[in-house]
Amino acid sequence: MRVPILSINGSDSTGQAGIGADIQTIAALGGYAVSAVSCVGDYSLPPDTVLKQVGDIISTLHPKAIKVGLVTDSETVRRLRDEVIACRRLVVAPGIFDADCKPMVSDDVVEATKRHLVPEALLLMLRCRDAEKMLGISIRTDDDMLEAARLLHEMGAEWVLLRGARHIKGRLIALLYGQNKTRFFSSYNTEGWQKHGVAGALSAAIATRLGMGDDVPTAVRNAHDFIHSQVVYAKPDEMGGRSIDIYNRFISLVAEHYRTAHDVAFYADRLCITTRYLSQITDKVVGKSPKQIIADYIMSEAKTFLDTTRLTIQEIADRLGFSSQVLFCKFFKSQEKTSPSNYRKQ
Q: What is the DSSP string of 235-277?
A: --GGG-SHHHHHHHHHHHHHHHHTTT---HHHHHHHHTS-HHH
Q: Is the pLDDT of residue 139 over 90?
A: no
User: What is the C-alpha separation between 138 and 97, in angstroms, rounded?
Assistant: 15
pLDDT of residue 80: 95
pLDDT of residue 190: 46
Percentage above 70 pLDDT, the chain: 89
Question: Which one is predicted more confidently, 158 or 284?
Answer: 158
Q: Please, what are the domains in the chain? A: 4-232 (3.40.1190.20), 241-345 (1.10.10.60)
Q: Is the pLDDT of residue 77 over 90?
A: yes
pLDDT of residue 71: 94
Contact 162, 177 (CB under 8 A): yes
With CA atoms as reference, report the closest residue to 153 among 133, 125, 130: 125
Q: Is the pLDDT of residue 167 over 70?
A: no
Dump pLDDT digits (tens) for 300-327.
888 878 887 788 999 999 989 999 999 9
The pTM of this model reads 0.70
When pLDDT is cut at 50, 70 and 90, the band that residue 41 belongs to is: confident
Question: What does the pLDDT average to over 29-43?
Answer: 91
When pLDDT is cut at 50, 70 and 90, the band that residue 114 belongs to is: very high
When pLDDT is cut at 50, 70 and 90, the band that residue 164 belongs to is: confident
Min mean pLDDT across 51-60, 104-113, 209-218, 337-346 is at: 337-346
Contact 184, 175 (CB under 8 A): yes
When pLDDT is cut at 50, 70 and 90, the band that residue 56 belongs to is: very high
Handedness of CA 69, 75, 76, 81 (dihedral sign): positive
Average pLDDT, the chain: 86
Q: Is the pLDDT of residue 75 over 90?
A: yes
When pLDDT is cut at 50, 70 and 90, the band that residue 256 belongs to is: confident
pLDDT of residue 93: 94
pLDDT of residue 233: 60
Percentage above 90 pLDDT, the chain: 55
When pLDDT is cut at 50, 70 and 90, the band that residue 28 belongs to is: confident
pLDDT of residue 196: 56
User: What is the C-alpha separation between 66 and 264, in angstroms, rounded?
Assistant: 37
Quick one: DSSP state of residue 232? Answer: I
Question: What does the pLDDT average to over 255-264?
Answer: 87
Question: What does the pLDDT average to over 155-176?
Answer: 78
Question: What does the pLDDT average to over 183-205?
Answer: 69
Question: What does the pLDDT average to over 6-23?
Answer: 83
Handedness of CA 105, 224, 245, 34 (dihedral sign): negative
